Chains A and B, each alone.
Chain A
Amino acid sequence: MSPTHRQRLVVVGHGMVGHRFVQAAIERGLTETHDVIVLGEEPRPAYDRVALTSWFGSGADALSLLPSGEYDDPRVTLRTGTAVAAIRPEARTVTLAGGEVLAYDQLVLATGAAPFVPPVPGRDLAGCFTYRTIEDLEAIRAAAAARGTTAGVVIGGGLLGLEAANALVQLGLETHVVEMAPRLMPVQLDDAAGQTLVRHIEKLGVTVHTGVSTEAITGADAVDGLALAGGERIDAEVVVFSAGIRPRDALAREAGLAVAERGGVLVDEQCRTSDPRIHAIGECAAPGGRMYGLVAPGYDMAEVVVDALLDGAGTFTGADMSTKLKLLGVDVASFGDAFATTDGALELVYSDAVAGVYKKLVVSDDGTRLLGGILVGDASAYGILRPMVSSGIALPDNPEELILPAGRGGGATGVAALPDDAQVCSCNNVSKGDVTAALDEHDCEDVAAVKKCTGAGTTCGSCVGTVKAIVEDHFAKAGKEVSRALCEHFGLSRSELFEVVAIHGHRTFDEIVEAHGTGRGCDVCKPAIASILASQLNGHVLAPENRTLQDTNDAYLANIQRNGTYSVVPRIPGGEITPEKLIVIGEVARDFGLYTKITGGQRIDLFGARMEQLPTIWRRLVDAGFESGHAYGKSLRTVKSCVGSTWCRYGVQDSVGMAIALELRYRGLRSPHKLKGGVSGCARECAEARSKDFGIIATEKGWNLYVGGNGGATPVHARLLAGDLDDETLVRYLDRYLMYYIRTADRLQRTAPWLDSLEGGLDRLREVVVDDVLGLGSELEAAMARHVATYVDEWAATLEDPDKLARFVSFVNAPDLPDPSISFEVEREQIVPAGPVPLGARIPVGTPVDAAPVSGR
C-alpha cells in the first residue's frame, strides 16, 4: 500500500554501501514516495575504498563515486562532513553533532567499520596510523615525506595490510609486514599459498615477519621502532595498523538496538534491526550475528533494504566471500571452501616454486563437484572456477586440467560447461545467461557491446576474460566466427601484426605479406601496415616502398573532398598564431580562390584545391614557416587549448605553452586512428579536453591527465589516469599511454573503445602506464623518443623531392590541364562544389570493406 504523504528516509553514512543504497533507491523509484537525506561524516562524498591505495598515484578525484558531489535526483539531499551524535528511536529522530535534530520515517544505518588498533603500548605515538580513509593516506604520505623517515611497518598481514604495505613501498620506504598468524592472509590462504605469496612480496623488497606479535611500539614522543616478541627489533618511523576492522555500532548500542555478540547491529534477513523502522547495511550490520567485511555483501544488503521499503520480499542469507585481487602485483584468489572443511573433501594441488605459482582445488569426496580453491601467482582460472562452485555443476573427468598451465588446461571448455545461471560478474551480478541474452536478444556484436549492455566487467574488470571467452564460445556454437583477422590477406589482428613487424624488423609491405599473409593486400591492410611501418620507422609516407600503400589522403598529404579536390590544413600548434602567419593563410586562400573555414581544432581549413595545386600552395605555406597539420592522417591532429594563466584571471597553469609543447612532441605520430588532445588551464575546462584522446586539466599542483575521450557519433568523456603531475611526469605518462595504444589497438579503433577492450580497463592501463607492472615503461618511452628525434615535416620534404612532386599532376600526359570535371559555384561569397550532393553516399567509417554498404549508383 502506498503512503498518501511523502515519507522521509534518513541514511546515516555515505561510504560505498550508503552510496549504493541511494543509487538503488533512485533507480528503483523509492524516491517517488520518499525524500532521502544522506548524512556523511567524512568531508567528501563516497569514494572507492577498495581501491584506496591508488590514491597515491591518481588522487582523490579518481576514487570518487559521486564526482559531482550531488545526486541527479532533487529528492535526495547529501550532507557531507555531518556526524550523527545520537538516534532516538522512540521519537524517530536523529541528533547531529551540531545539535540539529532531524525526524525520520525510516532510518538506514550504513556507518561502516573502524580499523581495530590492538592495545599495544606506544600505539598513540606520533607516526602511528590506520588505513581506512583518504585523510589517513594524506597523513601517511606527509609522514613518509618528513625528514628522517626511511622505514615503515605494517602491523597485520591480511588483505588490507598488504595494500598498506604496497602504499609504503610506493612512498619509497623500507617496508616490513608483521603478522601474528603463521602466514600472510590467514583468512584466505593456506600455509603453502602464504609461502608462495611471501616469496613474491619479498622480491619487491618487503620484509615479512610471520608468527610473531608486537610487544611494544617504541619512541619518546614519535615512533622510532617496534619491539617484537622474542626480542627482535625493527627500526621504523611509520607504523600502520591493519589488524582488522570492527563494526561501528556505537550509535545503535546507545539507542538500545540489539547488537551481535561479536559486534555489529543485529539484523534479520531483510536487514531490519530490533526497531522495525531502522535498517542496517554493510559492515556495521550483522545479519544473523555475523558481520561481512567485503563490499559485495554490503551492496547486496543495500538492494535488500530498498526492496523491503518497496514492500518486496528480497532477503540476505549470506554472501560469497570469494576474493580475487592483485596484491603488490601478485594475483591472489580464494573462493568457496578454500580450507577443505567439508567432510571428505579432497585437495588437488599444482605448485611451481620457480614460477611462483600455487593453485589448489578442493573437490567433493567423490571428485564430482568443486567446493573451493586458492590461486596465487596466476588467478586466470578464477573466472571459470568460482561460478563452478556456486552453480554446483559436475567437474570434468580430469579436474586437474583446470589448474594446469595454459595450453594444457580446459580453456574454452570451461565456459562452455558453465550453466546459464552461473554468475560471471560478481560486482554487477551478471550471469552467463545475461551475457548470451545480450548477444542473442540485444544484438551485441562484441565484448565491448556486452559490457555496455549488461554492465559485466565494468567495475573491477576481473571477469572480462571470462566474458570474452563466453562471447567467443557462443559465437562459435552459432557458427559465427569472431575473427580478429585484419582482412582476407592477413589472419593476424593489427596488434599482432605490429608485434610481428617489430620482432622481425620488417621494413616493407612485400616482406610482411610474403612472411605473414596471402595475396597482394587491399585497401584495408595496406594503409594499416603503412601506419604500423610509420609508427615504428617514421619513414616518409611517400617513400617509394610506402607510397602505394597509402589511402588517398596520405598519398597526397591532403584531405580529399566529394568532388575530388582537396583541403589543406597547416599546423597551428595549440591554436596560437601570429598576425603575420594569419595574413599568409589569408593571402594563400585568396590567391588560389579557396573556400576558408575555421575548424573545431583551432586551425584553418582551405578547401577546393586541385591536386596539382597542392605543391604550389604548400611552397607558399612552408616558406612562411608552416608545417603539415596531418589533418589527412591517422595521426595526431591538434592539441586544443584555452588561453590559460597567460591571460585568463582563472587560469592556474600555462595551458597554451603545454598544448604547444605536446603538439610539437607528438606531431606526425602515426596511430591506429586519429588522435586529438586538449589542455585546459583550470577546472572550468574551456578547451573541452575531456572530449579528447588525451585531455590535460591544470590544477594548482600540476596537471590532471585524462585519457580515452572522443567526440563524434559516440561521445565519451576521458577518464582520469593520474592527478597532480609535474610537467616531466605528465609527458612520461603520455609517451607510455600513446605508444601502448599504438602497439595494442585494433585498426581504426580510437582510444575509448580500445580502453574498453583492455582486460581490466582503466585500472589495467594505470598499472601499465603509472605502476609500470609490465616493465614496458622505458621501452615505450624510447619508442616515443625515437619518433620525436626522427620527425621531419613531410610537406617540406616532399617539396625537396622531384620524384614525389612528379605525382602531383592532373593527367600524366597533360600535366597542366585542369580536370574539366571539377567546377564550382559561389555560395555566401565563397566557392563550393557545383552540382547536387550525390544521394546515398554514405561513409562507412571503420567498417570492414566487405561489410560496407555499397553507395548509390
Chain B
Amino acid sequence: MEPTTQDAPGTTWVAVCPLEVIARESGVAAWVHGEAVAVFRDHLDGLHALSNLDPATGASVLARGIVGTRGGVPFVASPLHKQPYRLSDGVCLDDEAVRVPTYAVRLVDGVVQVGPRRT
C-alpha cells in the first residue's frame, strides 16, 4: 500500500501525508521501507526526517517530542528524557557523539515524501 515513485535509479520516495497534516512545529511518525521515521515541520515550514527511535531508550517515540529552537536552531526534545536532537542532522545538542539517523525528505504538490536514509 506504499505509493512510491521512482526518481533516480536506487532512489525510492514514499508519500507520507499532505503537508497540512503536520502542524507547524510538530512531527508525525511514518512507516517507510520497514522503518519508523519521524517527519517534522519547523517554524519556517522546513521539513526534516529523522529515525523515530530514541537513541537513549530504543523506544519509537521521537515524532511525539516538542519542537523548538535553541539559539535559533530547530530541535526536537525526546518525549522520554528530553535530550535535544537537531532537526537538520539529528545530532544531540548536549552530546555531539550521539546522533539520530536522518532521511531525505521533500514536498511534491503539497505531499510530503520521505526518501532514502542519509546518515
Contacts and interface: CB of A to CB of B under 8 A. Distances in A.
A577 interface: no
A562 B31 contact: no
Interface in B61-93: 61, 64-72, 74-75, 77, 79-84, 92
Contacts of B29: 810-812, 819
Given A526-B68, A564-B60, A548 B26 contact: yes
B66 A520 contact: no
Contacts of A489: 68-69
B56 A841 contact: yes
Contacts of B23: 544, 547-548
Contacts of B56: 838, 840-841, 854-857
Interface string B11-40: 000111100011111101111100010010
Nearest to A530: B66
B108 interface: no
A849 B82 contact: yes
B104 to A, nearest CB: 16
B50 interface: no
Given A523-B77, A857-B55, A556 B64 contact: yes
A522 interface: yes
Contacts of B109: none
Nearest to B23: A548
A854 B98 contact: yes
Contact of B60 (A521, A822, A855, A856): A822
Contacts of A525: 68
B31 A844 contact: no
A843 interface: yes
B57 interface: yes
A838 B72 CA distance: 32
A29 B1 CA distance: 81
B117 interface: no
Contacts of B65: 523, 552
Contact of B66 (A527, A817, A855, A856): A527
A549 to B, nearest CB: 7
Interface string A834-857: 010010111110000110101111
B66 A551 contact: yes
A790 interface: no
B64 A520 contact: no
Interface residues of B, number: 51
A836 B69 CA distance: 33
B44 to A, nearest CB: 9
A555 B92 CA distance: 23
Nearest to A522: B68
A668 B30 CA distance: 32
Contact of A547 (B26, B43, B75): B26
Interface string A552-563: 100110001011
Contacts of A849: 77, 82, 84
Given A562-B57, A821-B36, A520 B83 contact: no
Contact of B83 (A522, A563, A854): A854
B110 to A, nearest CB: 15
B7 interface: no
Contacts of B84: 522-523, 849
Given A522-B69, A817-B31, A560 B61 contact: yes
A607 to B, nearest CB: 14
B74 A520 contact: yes
A822 B61 CA distance: 11
Given A521-B69, A544-B23, A855-B83, A813 B16 contact: yes
A519 B69 contact: yes
A382 B64 CA distance: 52
Contacts of A813: 2, 14-17, 30-32
Contacts of A842: 81
Contacts of A857: 55-56, 95, 97-98
Nearest to A843: B81
Nearest to B72: A519
A838 B58 contact: yes
Contacts of B2: 813
Contact of A552 (B61, B70, B94, B98): B61
Contacts of B24: 548
Of B32, B64, B65, the most chain A CB neighbours within 10 A belong to: B64
A564 to B, nearest CB: 4
Interface residues of A, number: 47
B61 to A, nearest CB: 4
A564 B61 contact: yes
A814 interface: yes
Given A821-B53, A821-B58, A857-B56, A841 B81 contact: yes
Contacts of A522: 66, 68-70, 75, 77, 84
A488 interface: yes
Contacts of B1: 814
B59 interface: yes
A489 B43 CA distance: 15
A564 B79 CA distance: 9
A115 B30 CA distance: 81
B59 A563 contact: yes
Interface in A314-331: none
A854 B94 contact: yes
B30 A564 contact: no
B80 A812 contact: no
Contacts of A560: 61, 64, 79-80
Contacts of B67: 548
B64 A562 contact: no
A849 B80 CA distance: 12
Contacts of A812: 16-17, 21-22, 28-30, 39
A552 B81 CA distance: 11
A560 B97 CA distance: 26
Contacts of A564: 59-61, 80
A710 B64 CA distance: 30
Contacts of B53: 821
Nearest to B21: A812
A556 B64 CA distance: 9
Contacts of B25: 520, 548
Contacts of A556: 64
Contacts of A523: 65-66, 68, 77, 82, 84
A841 B80 CA distance: 9
Nearest to A526: B66
A843 B56 CA distance: 12
A488 B24 CA distance: 21
A842 B83 CA distance: 11
Contacts of A552: 61, 64-65, 79
A811 B81 contact: no
B25 to A, nearest CB: 5
A563 B53 CA distance: 10
A389 B7 CA distance: 84
Contact of B36 (A547, A548, A811, A844): A811
A819 B64 CA distance: 14
A838 B64 CA distance: 20
Nearest to B75: A522
Given A560-B80, A821-B36, A855-B83, A488 B71 contact: yes
14 contacts: A521-B68, A521-B69, A550-B66, A562-B59, A811-B29, A812-B30, A814-B31, A817-B31, A838-B56, A841-B81, A842-B81, A852-B83, A856-B56, A857-B98
Closest 10 CB pairs of A and B: A522-B68, A552-B79, A523-B77, A564-B59, A855-B56, A811-B31, A523-B66, A812-B28, A520-B69, A814-B31
Given A523-B65, A523-B66, A523-B84, 18 more contacts: A489-B68, A519-B69, A520-B43, A520-B69, A522-B84, A526-B66, A549-B66, A552-B61, A564-B59, A564-B80, A812-B30, A813-B14, A814-B30, A821-B59, A838-B57, A841-B56, A850-B94, A852-B81
